[in-house]
Amino acid sequence: MPVRTAAPQESEARRRRRVQEILKALKARYPDPQIPLAHRAPFELLVATILSAQCTDETVNRVTPELFRRFPGPQALAKAELAAVEELIRPTGFFRQKARAIVECSRRLLAEHGGEVPPDMEALVRLPGVGRKTANVLFAAAEIERWPGWPHTRSRPDGTGIVVDTHVTRLSRRLGLTAEVDPEAIERDLVRLVPPDEWSRFSLRLIYFGREVCTARDPRCAACPLRQLCPSAPYGGFPPWMASPARGGARRGRRTR
């Protein structure tokens, strides 16, 4: 196996050409990716995304039908007893913090936005439990599902960007699209490389690809359609520039979603 201690260097022009090839390959594999969290309205996706922190989408999708049956909107959830909400969302982990977040978020929506989820990045990230990742999930869904009153195109000046979850973090680093580890820094690198009209579906395609092929523990590099475009392929998906300094090697056992 090659020995290297730093990510390979490449010109900006070469990296942009490689990104275009990556986009093309991912689009061929996932022509119409959909939001994996089940939802019927922006509020339901907002709550589901808050619950998805450190939890699989499958678990969230098992929990939310009963949650939304008991508390079908922000009006009901704002009045909910925390203990009742905690019991319903317990399987998602960190259930006490998440229960407080979704109840307080519901109250804030009623107090400041008439019970509606605001289609504005600055307003969204001021809500309890909402950061840029959650807000970008909503903007991606709005574009893909054509939500009324929400933007259906993306552009840099509106403050929106690319969803960066654990899969997007791992794959963007393995693919050599960023050397950053902070999600917001990774997002800045990605929005510079990926055209705005690809932002919503690009992150979804990376997420699905990370689950199916470029997994955290056992990446299928030999069968990967991106292997000719990926600097991590010669290292079996565990390149030295992604090694954990504390352990002196790549971390194979970390759970991601």
Catalytic residue of the set 57, 79, 133, 197: 133
- Give how far the C-alpha of residue 63 lies from the chain's centroid of Cα atoms, to the nearest Å: 19
Task: Give buried/exposed letters for 112-131 (b at 16+ CB in 10 A, else e).
Answer: eeeeebbbbbebbeebebbe
Contacting residues for 48 by C-beta, under 8 A, at least 6 apart: 37, 38, 39, 60, 61, 64
**Distance of alpha carbon 2 from alpha carbon 39, whole angstroms:** 46
DSSP-assigned letter for residue 151: -
Query: Is 254 strand, coil or helix?
Result: coil
Report residue 116: phi and psi, to 5°: -100, 150
Extract the tokens encoding 75.
């009006």
> What DSSP letter does each residue of 188-247 carry, written as one string?
HHHHHHS-GGGHHHHHHHHHHHHHHTS-SSS--GGG-TTGGG-TTGGGTT--GGGSBTTT
> What DSSP letter does each residue of 33-51 carry, written as one string?
---SS--SSHHHHHHHHHH
Catalytic residue of the set 32, 165, 182, 189: 165
**Known catalytic residue: 24?**
no
Which residues does the annotation mark as catalytic? 133, 165
